Amino acid sequence: MTENETTTAETFIDPICGMQVKPANAAGSLNQDGETYYFCSTACLQKFMAPNDVNPANCCGGN
C-alpha cells in the first residue's frame, strides 16, 4: 500500500467501538435507513444488529 492510498482512503467509524474502519478491511457492513455502517469485527456487527432489550417500562421505575 502506498502512502497516497493510506491518506486518501475513506474511513468510517464503527458505531459500536469507535474504531476507524476502511470499507475494504471491514469485517462487515450494514445498510440501515439509507446509511451504511462498517464494522471492525463480526462481534460489533452482531451487537449492532441485536434487539434493544432495554424497555423503559421495565427499568428505572418505569419512567
What confidence tens digit (pLDDT) does each residue in 2-56 have? Answer: 443 444 469 999 999 999 999 999 999 999 999 999 999 999 999 999 987 655 5
Q: Is residue 11 within 8 Å of residue 21, measured between CB atoms? A: yes
pLDDT over threshold 50, residue 1: no
User: Residue 56: its pLDDT value, please?
Assistant: 53
- pTM of the predicted protein model: 0.68
Q: Where are the alpha helices (DSSP H) in the chain?
A: 3-8, 42-49
